[in-house]
Amino acid sequence: MRLTRRRFGALALAGSATFLLSACGQSGSSPAGKTGGGTGGGGSVTFVTSLAEDERAAIGELLKGFESSAGVQVKMVQMESQDVVNQLKAKKTANKMDIDLVAQDNLRLGPLVRDQLVDDLSGEVSRVPDSTIDALVPITEFNGKRFFFPYRPNVQIVYYNETKMSQYGLKPPESWDDLLKVSQTIKEKEGIGKVAIQAAAGDPLSVSVFEFIKQAGGDPLVLNDAGSVKAFEFLAQLEPLMTPEYRTAKFDTMNTMLSTDTAYLGSNWPFGINVIVDKNGRKDIKAYHGWAGPTKESHVLGGEVLGIPAGAPNKAGALQLAEYLMAKDTQSQLLTKLGWPPMRTDAFGNVPEWQAPYFQAVQAALKQVDARPNVPYWEDVSRAMNDAFRDVVQSKQPAKETLDRYAAAIQKAKAAAGA
Amino acid sequence: MSTQAVTQQPRTGAATRVRTDAHASRLALRIGFVALAVLFAVMTVLPLLVLIKVSFSAPQDIMTARPPFLLYNATLDHWRAILNADTVLGPARHSLVVATGTALFAVLIAAPAAYVISRMSRGWRYGLILALLFTQMFPDVGIAMPVAITFLRLGLNDTDLGLILAHLVPTLPFVAWILVGTFETIPREIEEASFVDGNGKIGTLARVVVPLAAPGIAVAALFAWLKSWNDLVYAIYLFLGERTLPLMTFYYSNRGSVFDTATFAVLLTIPVMLVTLALQRYVEAGTLSGAIKG
């Protein structure tokens, strides 16, 4: 078919008409996640959160209760935690902040405070319930000031392939020695390692290394103390016994690895339950709280906290919503509907039956948590842990000398940060 | 036996061997070419086939150490799960409108500029073409933040128009570069003949130059459309309450299963295939090389 002038003109006209009819002006008339009108005229609150589709539906239902009682409309917006910092930065610089409340991953709080993107909430401490889990409080504070409210604690659990473990007469490892034995046995039987830790460069690896260091009684902010050296030496022993895919293991790929039998044992956040067991149909994948090191059992305290961006247009509404989300009834409903562990000790509920064993694993792991320290040079510490892993665990360089080098780099970063 | 027959015989044998050798070598080349073509076709199509297969497969066929190559237990569950108004229709509408708008605007703005550049003297032409190419060195990620800040100040966030304008930033120079090459291939003598026939400048452009350049314009529009359709960076910065299809795919790949991701990826590919099929006949060899001809 020749592209004659007439046809070309018709195509251009059709395209322009489509564009003119659809494009011009604000397209915010039907924003995603609008939960409906409230009964009063209390304005609206834009609430940024990062949820899976089924979680959004449940949270949307909960927020209707808030809208009815507070007369404040809630516009729920989906945004990944790694995009929150850039969005807030752009909006703050442009002086066009239109976000009122953010539920942010508590592993990504430093930049929000450092770049003054969130308000100081020290004057609003009274809104935080007294029954809040103690371990959650330090992560909301930076330099003695409270910048966030606790919202949702989270912790990684260890998933394992029950069929394969039973086949080889193995039990989920409870100690480092057990972990080595299980890894060794599986590798001998299968000819290839099937145990994984999350070792994708960046946050996933930092979390894994942090946990091992704490389990050995070390301090990640020092990195060359006895516990840290022990942790790295152990990881160097474990590394050849793991699946080669461990290098790419993080929150999403670990689900696939466990579902496709690339790994028979690996840790991940509880959202993996819905993906691995429910969506991928792997009901033989179970979970437990994990293993202990020579000193103790330790898991990084993850989850989300609530922050109010600097310049939020409806700070009063945001504070009301935050208080609602921390309320006992709300936390109980989150537990019942989504299996989310509550942030307060007095919230109770029944999780869906099929989730119960996994929830027990989460509850057990939450008893052994360590929060990452809120220091301004945390990115340097994370980078040092990543590089040390590469050098000691993968390249088999001597642990003590290598860690001495990275410890010095951390001290330098600490001095530069004025900490 | 005549002398002629004796002298012809050696020539016939040598000539036959030469013809046979030439024929064999052409056959070998043809077989090699076909084999390579098949290999590249398979390498190109196979990932798409795997995506389509995963989007229609039951979990037990994929979540296993050795998944089968063929589709055994087909299911529409994954498609049913994502095909609803909030998840697909809204983002698809935004993506379609923005991509089409970007392509239209890019051509409307870049074509006149490209025509003027193509008619400049060689020195000026090369300088401007290099300037256009220079802008392609800046990655979108590097300039997205300042663009986002400016657009936020202008109230262009969460609008299709804002996203179109953002996409034009990297697209305009590229489209202009393609169209310079297109217009260069149209001899000036044709325009002069049109003047002689009584057409003015505008008439010549509308009745002679643009129709001749139409295939190149279609190619430029296709590239602009594809670039805009696949964008993720500007959508993340400029769309807060709204979504585009690539953004939905990104979120599902972070939070959903491989089935959701595969289904979205296939959905994302369908319009690309349709648009490419509609316009690919206009992609001629040399369309993109014209701008760098001596």
Considering only the beta carbons, identify the residue of A3, A23, A261 that sits closest to B215.
Answer: A3
Domain B83-292 part of CATH 1.10.3720.10: yes
* DSSP annotation of A125: G
- Region B86-111: mean pLDDT is 91
The A residues from 79 to 118 touching B (CB cutoff 8 Å) are 79-80, 83, 86-87, 89-91, 93-96, 98-99
Res B199: pLDDT:
84
| Shortest alpha-carbon distance between residue A117 and chain B (Å) | 15
pLDDT of residue B88: 84
In the DSSP assignment, the letter for residue A141 is: E
Contact indicator for A136, A341 with CB cutoff of 8 Å: no
> Do A100 and A118 touch, CB atoms closer than 8 A?
no
Contact between A59 and A49 (Cβ < 8 Å):
yes
Mean pLDDT is lowest, of A95-104, A276-285, B75-84, B166-175, for B75-84
Q: Which residues of A touch B78 (CB under 8 A)?
A: none
On chain A, the residues whose CB falls within 8 A of the CB of B88 are none
Whether chain B has a CB inside 8 Å of the CB on A256: the answer is yes
**Res B222 pLDDT > 50:** yes
How confident is the model over A169-178, as pLDDT tens digits?
Answer: 999 999 999 9
Sort out which chain B residues have CB atoms less than 8 A from A89's CB and list them.
145
Band of residue B68 on the pLDDT scale cut at 50, 70, 90: confident
Q: A203-250, pLDDT tens digit by residue?
A: 999 999 999 999 999 999 999 999 999 999 999 999 999 999 999 999
Write out pLDDT tens, residues B47-62. 999 999 999 998 888 8
Span A128-142, pLDDT tens digits: 999 998 889 989 999
What ipTM was predicted for this assembly? 0.73
Distance CA B256, CA A324 (A): 28
Q: What is the pLDDT of residue A66?
A: 95
Per-residue pLDDT, averaged over A280-297, amounts to: 95
* pLDDT bucket at A262, cuts 50 / 70 / 90: very high
Higher pLDDT, residue B255 or A328: A328
CA distance A397 to chain B (A): 34
Residue B91 has pLDDT above 60, yes or no: yes
Mean pLDDT lowest among A346-355, B36-45, B95-104, B118-127? A346-355
A321 vs B285, which has greater pLDDT?
A321
- The per-residue pLDDT for range B15-26, each reduced to its tens digit, is 777 778 888 899
DSSP per-residue letters across A183-204: HHHHHHHHSS--EE---STTHH
Paired tokens of A145:
């000031």
**What tens digit of pLDDT does each residue of B235-281 get?**
998 988 788 988 888 887 777 678 888 998 898 888 888 888 887 77
- Please name the member of B145, B210, B241 whose beta carbon is closest to the beta carbon of A75: B241
Q: Using pLDDT thresholds of 50, 70 and 90, give the confidence band for residue A414.
A: very high
**Three-class SS of residue B126?**
helix
Is residue B287 scored above 90 in pLDDT?
Answer: no
Angle at CA of residue B103, ends B100 and B105, nearest 5°: 105
When scoring B84, B255, B258, B259 by the number of chain A Cβ atoms within 10 A, the one with the most, hence best to mutate, is B255
CA atoms within 13 A on the CB side of A280: 26
Among B148, B161, B254, select the one facing A252 at the smallest CB separation.
B254
* C-alpha neighbours within 13 Å on the C-beta side of residue A100: 20
Res A40: pLDDT: 41
Burial B168-186 (b: 16+ CB within 10 A, else e): bebbbbbbbbbbbbbbbeb
Residue spans of the domains in chain B: they are: 3-62, 83-292
State pLDDT tens for residues A73-109. 999 998 888 889 999 999 999 999 999 999 999 888 9
Nearest neighbour of B86 by CB, restricted to A15, A32, A80? A32
Burial call A288-316: b when 16+ CB within 10 Å, e when fewer: bbbbbbeeebbbbbbbbbbbbbbbbbbbe
Predicted TM-score (pTM) of the model is 0.79
pLDDT at residue A252, rounded to an integer: 86
Percent of chain A with pLDDT over 70: 90
CA distance B170 to B164: 11
- Rounded to the nearest angstrom, the minimum Cα separation between B270 and chain A is 18
The whole-number pLDDT of residue A12 equals 55
Q: Cβ–Cβ of B237/A94 closer than 8 Å?
A: no
- The residues with which A160 forms a beta bridge, in sequence order, are A265, A286
Q: How confident is the model at residue B252, as a pLDDT?
A: 79
Contacts B237 to A, Cβ<8 Å: 86-87, 90
What 3-state class would DSSP assign to A376? coil
Which band of pLDDT confidence, cut at 50, 70 and 90, is reported for residue A18?
Answer: low
Categorize the per-residue pLDDT at A358 as very low, low, confident or very high, splitting at 50, 70 and 90.
very high
Determine the topology of domain A44-153+303-353 in CATH.
Answer: D-Maltodextrin-Binding Protein; domain 2 (3.40.190)
pLDDT at B290 over 70: no
Q: Which residue of A has its CA nearest to B88?
A: A32
- The reported pLDDT for the residue numbered B191 is 87
The answer, yes or no, to whether residue A44 has pLDDT greater than 50, is yes
The fourth-level CATH superfamily of domain A157-300+375-416 is: Periplasmic binding protein-like II (3.40.190.10)
**Residue B68 in tokens:** 């089968």
**Nearest chain B residue (CA) to A282:** B63
Mean pLDDT of chain A: 89
Report yes or no: A1 at the B interface, CB cutoff 8 Å: yes
What is the CB neighbour count within 10 angstroms for residue A353? 7
- Give the Cα separation of A211 and B63 in Å (integer): 29
What pLDDT sits at residue B283? 66
Q: What residues of B are in contact with residue A261 (Cβ under 8 Å)? A: 64-65
Which residue of chain A comes nearest to B78, CA vs CA? A279
Q: CA-CA distance, B249 to A231, in Å (whole number)? A: 38
Domain A44-153+303-353 shares a fold with domain A157-300+375-416: yes
List CB contacts (< 8 A) between B254 and chain A: 80, 252
The ranges assigned to domains in chain A are 44-153+303-353, 157-300+375-416
Per-residue model confidence (pLDDT) at position A10: 57
pLDDT, residue B117, reads 93
When the pLDDT of each residue in chain B is averaged and rounded to a whole number, the result is 85
